[in-house]
């Protein structure tokens, strides 16, 4: 019997996790360091601290299994939006013809945050540490605008100025996100801009250049190095961001247990830089590595237009286009990658979080990819029965969830499928309009383009024997 009155699993503000789960000590092969782009050697601590807040640099390489969440930060999470709800997707189950308790679908709802996604989880943490360290300005890039809004919100709470370089394609497609950032006192520039050397290289050739996350990162890093009271911050990819996001997976575990699920079968999340998927699945990965959840299948979903893990190579690459940000070992399509303007703006990064790349190489997690039209179709199918219109990024996870549920139905299997609902799509309505108007087309990144980008003579070669 379906228990309707226990289908939205809520926790109390006092249940906000007290620690973050640090997966670094558990990784089957050691984590690779951040490399200084100037000399190809591991970035010294002082150098990393000139770029990022110091506490984040410490967390980036921490060997502690669990890292305490500062009390002040837990108070803010608790008094604003955490813990977020876990929903049983009863409407979607009915829609797919799987009512009953044989196949269950749950989703963790990170769209419940003030800015509509999981991004404030780390934005608040980074702004908190920056304010404690006397930093007065945080500078960043944003693709779809979710990270820029999350950070503007976080910075404003802690009295820090926030400057955002927004990929021009999104700047034009999503004026709403820009207004939201400005509402939190954020300063927003279209990237490539005239204000940095990295931006000018592209801007002078073409003032309407659509931009890319790689270029916007170069601009933000360059800008942050102008003053010693400003820092660059990132909304994804690096270890400390995934660490901050592990509150999502920890809450999910408690909520599933409350719903009577001790062992989920499939965990799904969309992957851009890997932070929402990472934060959602890392607490379960630890259980998998410790033999408590040996059979759980963990699947990250990418767009076919930007398949860093599914089609890229695992190798050293620059984090940005202008080669100013640290070099990372990760799955990459090459730092020269300029994405086609597909709508899932947050999934258009050329690389992938080193933690995700490591877990994938070690076959702890899997990856798959979908076309944007089937993804948007799945999003609308979800919205019609569950109510919330998903962000196009999130919709990748929904498409895979639907496929998995239908496969289980066909094979007459018993399954619990849980996905991370990373954010809502109320600022992404243009993507839905394009779909409805029949203007959305599928785009698959040609293998030859990937091959060319990765054979770029400027791909870094790092001597691994030095560490
Ligand atoms: C930023 C964003 C993503 C992609 O980034 P990850 O670091 O891979 O999570 C996905 N969904 C939403 C709603 C986002 O805002």
Q: Does the beta carbon of 147 lie inside 6 Å of ligand 1?
A: yes
pLDDT at residue 342, as a whole number:
62
pTM: 0.96
* CA torsion, ordered 45, 50, 52, 57, to nearest 10 deg: 10
Contacts of 434 (CB under 8 A, 6+ apart): 343, 440
CA gap 199, 196 in Å, rounded:
5
The ligand 1 atom nearest the CA atom of 241: 7
pLDDT of residue 289: 97
| pLDDT for the residue numbered 341 | 64
**Residue 379 neighbours by CB under 8 Å, 6+ apart:** 389, 390, 392, 394, 395, 398, 399, 425, 432
Cα(422) to centroid of ligand 1, in Å? 6
Q: Could you tell me the two tokens for 445?
A: 């990144």
pLDDT score recorded for residue 343: 66
Query: What is the structure's pLDDT at 223?
Result: 95
Does residue 117 have its Cβ closer than 6 Å to ligand 1? yes
- Helix 275-289 and helix 246-258, axial crossing angle in degrees, nearest 10: 60
Please report the atom of ligand 1 found closest to the CA of residue 236. 7
Burial class (CB in 10 A: 0-12, 13-18, 19+), 206: exposed
Largest CA distance in the chain: 64
Nearest-CA residue for ligand 1 atom 10 is 393
Most informative mutation of 112, 145, 347 for ligand 1 (most atoms within 8 A of CB): 347
Alpha carbon 207 to chain centroid distance?
29
427 CA from centroid of ligand 1 (Å): 14
Q: Quick one: how far is CA 154 from the chain centroid? A: 17
Q: Are strands 161-167 and 137-142 parallel, antiparallel or unpaired?
A: parallel
φ and ψ at 412, to 5 degrees?
55, 45
Positions of E strands within 36-178: 66-68, 86-88, 103-109, 137-142, 161-167
Q: Is the CB of 236 under 6 A from ligand 1?
A: yes
Q: In this structure, which residue's CA is closest to atom 15 in ligand 1?
A: 146
Query: Ligand 1 in contact with 270 (CB < 6 A)?
Result: yes
The verdict on the CB of residue 346 being under 6 Å from ligand 1 is yes
> Separation of 272 CA from ligand 1 center, angstroms?
6
Residue 456's CB: how many other CB atoms inside 10 A?
12
* Domains by residue range for the chain, with CATH: 7-15+69-116+239-454 (3.40.50.1100)
In the chain, which stretches have pLDDT less than 50? none
Q: Give, for 73, the enclosing helix (H) or strand (E).
A: helix 71-80
| 464 and 376 Cβ atoms separated by less than 8 Å | no
pLDDT at 25 (0 to 100): 98
Residues 6+ apart with CB under 8 A from 456: 334, 336
Q: Strand runs (DSSP E) across 22-99, as ranges?
A: 66-68, 86-88
- For residue 151 the two structure tokens come to 């950070």
Span 362-383, pLDDT tens digits: 999 999 999 999 999 999 999 9
The residue whose C-alpha atom lies closest to atom 4 belonging to ligand 1 is 272
Question: How many A from CA of 343 to the centre of ligand 1?
Answer: 13
Helix (H) / strand (E) element for 35: namely: none
CA of 380 to the centre of ligand 1 (A): 19
| CB 160 within 8 Å of CB 126 | no
The pLDDT value given to residue 212: 86
Confidence at residue 457, expressed as pLDDT on a 0 to 100 scale? 83
């Amino acid at each position: 019997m379906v228990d309707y009155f226990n289908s939205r699993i809520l926790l109390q503000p006092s249940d906000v996790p007290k620690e973050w789960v640090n997966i670094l000590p558990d990784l089957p092969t050691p984590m690779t360091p951040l490399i200084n782009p100037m000399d190809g050697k591991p970035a010294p601590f002082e150098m990393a601290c000139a770029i990022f807040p110091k506490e984040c640099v410490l967390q980036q390489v921490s060997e502690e299994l669990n890292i305490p969440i500062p009390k002040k930060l837990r108070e803010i999470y608790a008094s604003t939006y955490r813990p977020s709800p876990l929903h049983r997707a009863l409407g979607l189950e009915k829609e797919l013809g799987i009512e009953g308790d044989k196949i269950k679908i749950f989703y963790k709802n990170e769209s419940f945050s003030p800015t509509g996604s999981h991004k404030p989880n780390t934005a608040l943490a980074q702004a908190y540490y920056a304010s404690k360290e006397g930093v007065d300005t945080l500078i960043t890039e944003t693709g779809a605008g979710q990270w820029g809004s999350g950070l503007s919100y976080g910075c404003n709470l802690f009295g820090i100025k926030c400057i955002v370089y927004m990929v021009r394609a999104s700047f034009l497609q999503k004026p709403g996100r820009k207004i939201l950032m400005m509402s939190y006192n954020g300063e927003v520039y279209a990237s490539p801009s005239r204000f940095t050397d990295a931006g000018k290289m592209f801007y002078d050739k073409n003032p309407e250049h659509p931009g890319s996350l790689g270029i916007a990162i170069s601009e933000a890093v360059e800008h942050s190095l102008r003053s010693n009271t400003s820092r660059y911050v990132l909304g994804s990819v690096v270890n400390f961001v995934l660490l901050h996001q592990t509150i999502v997976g920890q809450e999910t575990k408690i909520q599933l247990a409350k719903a009577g699920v001790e062992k989920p079968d499939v965990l799904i999340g969309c992957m851009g830089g890997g932070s929402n998927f990472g934060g959602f699945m890392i607490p379960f990965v630890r259980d998998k590595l410790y033999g408590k959840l040996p059979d759980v299948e963990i699947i990250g979903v990418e767009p076919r237009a930007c398949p860093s893990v599914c089609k890229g190579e695992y190798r050293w690459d620059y984090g940005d286009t202008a080669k100013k940000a640290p070099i990372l070992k990760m799955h990459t399509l090459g730092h020269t990658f300029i994405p086609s303007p597909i709508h899932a703006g947050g999934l258009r990064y050329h690389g992938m979080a080193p933690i995700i790349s490591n877990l994938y190489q070690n076959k702890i997690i899997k990856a798959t990819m979908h076309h944007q039209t089937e993804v948007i179709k799945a999003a609308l199918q979800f919205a019609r029965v569950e109510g919330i219109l998903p962000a196009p990024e999130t919709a990748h996870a929904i498409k895979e969830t639907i496929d998995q549920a239908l496969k289980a139905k066909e094979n007459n299997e018993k399954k619990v499928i849980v996905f991370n609902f990373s954010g809502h799509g109320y600022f992404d309505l243009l993507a839905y309009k394009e779909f409805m108007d029949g203007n959305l087309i599928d785009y698959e990144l040609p293998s030859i383009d990937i091959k060319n980008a990765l054979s770029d003579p400027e791909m870094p070669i790092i001597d691994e024997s030095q560490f």
